[in-house]
Structure 1
Amino acid sequence: MNSFNDTSADDTARSFDVSSASVAGRLDAYLAEQLAGEGVSRGKVQDLIKGGKVFVDGTVRTKPKFKLMGGETVDVALELPGSGIVPEQSELDVLFEDGRVAVIHKTAGLTVHPAPGRPAGTLVHQLAHRFPKILEMEGERPGIVHRIDKDTSGLLLVALDEASRLALSADFAERRVDKRYLALVHGVPQGNVGNQGTIDAPIGRHPRSKTKMAVVEKGGRDALSDWEVLWSTPDGSASMVAVTIHTGRTHQIRVHMAHLGHPLLGDVVYGSRQHAEWCRDSGLDPALAGRQMLHAWRLGFTHPHSGERLEFVLPPAEDFQRLALSLGQSVQRVGVVGMPGCGKSTVAALLAEAGAPLFSADQCVAELYEEEADGWIMLRRRFGEKFAPTGSAVDKAQLFAAMRSSEGMRREILDVVHPLVRHRMTEFWRSHRREDVAVAEVPLLLEGGWVEQGLADVVVGVSCTEGVRRARLATRGWDEETVATLESWQWAEADKLAACDFVVDNGGTLEDLKQNVAELLRQLVDRRRESRVALENRLNALWAGNC
């Protein structure tokens, strides 16, 4: 059955859902049948179509023989001049106008044209105040040759006279207008060619929800979108994607990106599950994604009178920019390393006192070795009760002796324990990803290749003289053989410190160390600030079209 959104006898806008192919066919024949009860002849319907008063899925169709396939929304304006549109004064952002056409920056939250339930307060009412001439055109959509969703921001092309409207409507119908959008989406889309791809999937009414569109196997209209990932967050939780649409289906980008598995941030219609998870897990204020993050970014068209090709680029709205910057600023992950006895635990503790969350690999291992903990279970599965006896924690002395006895055994044990530590450290970073700085003290961070694996952004080495270090180890009761064994499992001190981004000297008093750590924090803050500036510059360049 067709869904006829009738409003009242005075309303002149009509909207129909072509819900199946069985009732589809020529556009003029379909509308003539639907409007027969209102005394509208097929000839009048053809005049309305040729006059640009009929929209199919938001695109003007000016050919009466246009083929409907089923699944479309058909809107028709029956109104004659003097429709009753009352001009409304506003701060309309006009980017270009020459008496024939205008390019407008439509803000998010603004409906383009009147419709049932929205008789006033639309862009058309604002245009009528700025360009009274458009009221000489018929209908409730004077000057409108295409539209973008209420909660989408960006570039909108408007015709300022009837000749321009007809010419531009034809250009849109023949796909001679270039439209490129920016979208913030969940995750990182993977294409057939690196970071880009094409979605060629027909769109029609959702089979179970008439207020939604969907990719459908039957009864939909062809829909073609090209996409390219321009930027992704460090943790891969979101990406900024440029989408070029070659067709103009209702909600096309939102439907296609959701079909790809990467719905738009803030889109509670086509990405409700992902949006709920993001609100719960992102660590950001959900209000930052208060709408679908979609922006009509680039627009190219041929001027209907001069024939000149015009191109426009508009950076996204402030809320879009603010969310992208917030997403891109993840925690600065600081790894602390050093030789046994250098004082790396003290440095890590001082950073924690300054407010940085702290992860200790040694503490993590101690927890993993408790009876029935993950490390205890995995060692028991691999080696039986040799290191994880029933009724007690892991026998660390026995484990250490086995590691000293054989390099092969040491590596076998590390293959069991290190993945568990790495997983917990990854979860630590994730749970603190909105902090400015978080710290992980991991003795074998460099030796384990974890920096190369992307598990730390900054490495801080702690150093002191050999004599000071040996004296500290002696106070712990460590014998020379134990020290030599532990050192043999690490890089040479010179190599370790050379691989660090910062080195903290711990050869003096505790007060000296506190001053050195304070200086380290200052440098980390500067690094964070520089990172934000670099991100802003990169995004600004992308938004300006320099990509």
Structure 2
Amino acid sequence: PYEYLLVPENIPIDIVYEDDELLVVNKPAGMVVHPGHGNYSGTLINALTYHFENLPKNSNERPGLVHRIDKDTSGLLVVAKTEASMTHLAKQFFDKTSEREYVALVWGDVEEEEGTIEGNIGRHPKNRLQNTVFEGDEAEKGKPAVTHYKVLERLGYVTLVSCKLETGRTHQIRVHMKHIGHTLFNDERYGGEKILKGTTFTKYKQFVENCFKILPRQALHARTLGFVHPKTGKQLSFNSELPDDFRECIEKWRGYAKHQN
């Protein structure tokens, strides 16, 4: 693997909770979690190594990282401060006992009020930047993935949903929601930047393009994070407010949906 020097950088971090064993961080959209693929500075790890010395190493030289969220997804992330906590937390994620709930704005009117999406996820055979669901005879090409979703609000051409992760595959919610025909709003990598339905109406097109400007990324936020504290054994749960751009986008759709009825 390509060797790089991990440079600590004085980047502010939004710390939601901290003790001797771990910290919970609220990551802004646009920030990469760890260095790699041309992002060797400005990442959360660059920031963490500046603010915290002696973070535990894990197998990938990603100090303290138990899990990660995509660059353009905002929200909660737990970081271990000791080797023991690293092991304990990693096991909770592996055993699927941690709680991870996301809020997503997806295209279309989601049919069911709630449901479970099960479909093995793996690298897309034709597009290396995408993951996809493999089914039937091809299932073994992917890793098992389970997402539970629930409709929070119907807004005409889009739906606000809550997604709970049972597994944590790369792009899991983005891939699973696309799989059931509801790509995340403005998710360029998965086709969510295309305007759904009604493109003939200039006003509608302008409205959606304005929403894309307000929220220039996929509409996904890691809202709830829960796990057992490695040392005290207490169940901890954290919540993070939707960021302003996401909230504003939802408000715009609420207004639009009202005028349609």
Settle same-fold status: TM greater than 0.5.
Answer: yes
Identity value in percent: 38
- The answer to whether 1:164 aligns with 2:85 is yes
Aligned residues: 250
Equivalence for 1:89: 10
Between the aligned partners of 1:253 and 1:113, the Cα distance in structure 2 is: 20
Among candidates 265, 270, 283, match of residue 206 of structure 2: 283
SS in 1 for 2:247: helix
Q: 1:174 to 1:96 in 2, by over 3 A?
A: same
Displacement of 1:98 in angstroms is: 0.4
Equivalence for 2:242: 316
Among candidates 253, 262, 267, match of residue 173 of structure 2: 253
Displacement of 1:230 in angstroms is: 0.5
> In 2, are the aligned partners of 1:114 and 1:140 still within 8 Å (CA)?
no
Superimposed CA distance per residue, residues 330-357 of structure 1 (whole angstroms, 9 cap, x where no aligned partner)? 2765xxxxxxxxxxxxxxxxxxxxxxxx
Displacement of 1:244 in angstroms is: 0.4
Equivalence for 1:304: 230
Displacement of 1:118 in angstroms is: 1.5
Deviates most, 139-148 or 275-284: 275-284
Between the aligned partners of 2:71 and 2:195, the Cα distance in structure 1 is: 19
Aligned runs of 1:256-275 on 2, under 5 Å? 256-272=176-192, 274-275=194-195
| 1:121 aligned partner, one-letter code | G
- The answer to whether 1:238 aligns with 2:158 is yes
Equivalence for 1:117: 38
> Which 4+ runs in 1 deviate beyond 2 A?
136-140, 271-284, 330-333
| 1:243 aligned partner, one-letter code | C
| 1:283 aligned partner, one-letter code | Q
Equivalence for 1:200: 118
Displacement of 1:188 in angstroms is: 1.7
Displacement of 1:246 in angstroms is: 0.4
Write 1 or 2 for the structure with the bigger share of strand.
2
Write 1 or 2 for the structure with the bigger share of helix.
1
Displacement of 1:208 in angstroms is: 1.4
Displacement of 1:282 in angstroms is: 4.2
Equivalence for 2:144: 222
Kindly name which structure, 1 or 2, has the bigger radius of gyration based on alpha carbons. 1
Displacement of 1:271 in angstroms is: 2.3
> In 2, are the aligned partners of 1:114 and 1:120 still within 8 Å (CA)?
yes
TM-score, with normalisation over the residues of structure 1? 0.44
> In 1, are the aligned partners of 2:119 and 2:133 still within 8 Å (CA)?
yes
Between the aligned partners of 1:175 and 1:201, the Cα distance in structure 2 is: 16
Superimposed CA distance per residue, residues 437-478 of structure 1 (whole angstroms, 9 cap, x where no aligned partner)? xxxxxxxxxxxxxxxxx5xxxxxxxxxxxxxxxxxxxxxxxx
Among candidates 172, 184, 190, match of residue 105 of structure 2: 184
| 2:119 aligned partner, one-letter code | A
Superimposed CA distance per residue, residues 127-168 of structure 1 (whole angstroms, 9 cap, x where no aligned partner)? 11221231x536531000000000000000000111111111
| 1:210 aligned partner, one-letter code | R
| Unpaired runs of at least 5, structure 2 | none
- The answer to whether 1:295 aligns with 2:221 is yes
Q: 1:295 to 1:332 in 2, by over 3 A?
A: closer
Aligned runs of 1:531-542 on 2, under 5 Å? none
Displacement of 1:91 in angstroms is: 2.0
Aligned runs of 1:454-469 on 2, under 5 Å? none
| 1:197 aligned partner, one-letter code | G
Displacement of 1:175 in angstroms is: 0.8
Between the aligned partners of 1:298 and 1:282, the Cα distance in structure 2 is: 33
SS in 1 for 2:189: coil
Between the aligned partners of 1:302 and 1:168, the Cα distance in structure 2 is: 8
Between the aligned partners of 1:278 and 1:212, the Cα distance in structure 2 is: 27
> In 1, are the aligned partners of 2:9 and 2:47 still within 8 Å (CA)?
yes
| Unpaired runs of at least 5, structure 1 | 1-5, 12-83, 334-428, 430-453, 455-547
> In 2, are the aligned partners of 1:266 and 1:291 still within 8 Å (CA)?
yes
Displacement of 1:209 in angstroms is: 1.1
Q: 1:205 to 1:128 in 2, by over 3 A?
A: same
Between the aligned partners of 2:63 and 2:79, the Cα distance in structure 1 is: 9
Equivalence for 1:150: 71
SS in 2 for 1:290: coil
Superimposed CA distance per residue, residues 480-513 of structure 1 (whole angstroms, 9 cap, x where no aligned partner)? xxxxxxxxxxxxxxxxxxxxxxxxxxxxxxxxxx
Displacement of 1:283 in angstroms is: 3.3
| 2:149 aligned partner, one-letter code | W
Displacement of 1:273 in angstroms is: 6.6
What RMSD over aligned residues (CA atoms) do the two structures have, in Å? 2.0
Between the aligned partners of 1:189 and 1:113, the Cα distance in structure 2 is: 34
> In 1, are the aligned partners of 2:195 and 2:205 still within 8 Å (CA)?
no
Equivalence for 1:102: 23
| 1:330 aligned partner, one-letter code | Y
> In 2, are the aligned partners of 1:101 and 1:157 still within 8 Å (CA)?
yes
Superimposed CA distance per residue, residues 70-115 of structure 1 (whole angstroms, 9 cap, x where no aligned partner)? xxxxxxxxxxxxxx42221122100000011100000000010111
Displacement of 1:298 in angstroms is: 0.5
> In 2, are the aligned partners of 1:155 and 1:297 still within 8 Å (CA)?
yes
Equivalence for 2:254: 328
Q: 1:278 to 1:107 in 2, by over 3 A?
A: farther
Between the aligned partners of 1:287 and 1:326, the Cα distance in structure 2 is: 12
SS in 2 for 1:133: coil
| 1:230 aligned partner, one-letter code | L
| 1:312 aligned partner, one-letter code | F
- The answer to whether 1:175 aligns with 2:93 is no
> In 2, are the aligned partners of 1:268 and 1:275 still within 8 Å (CA)?
no
Q: 1:150 to 1:107 in 2, by over 3 A?
A: same
Equivalence for 1:434: none
Equivalence for 1:446: none
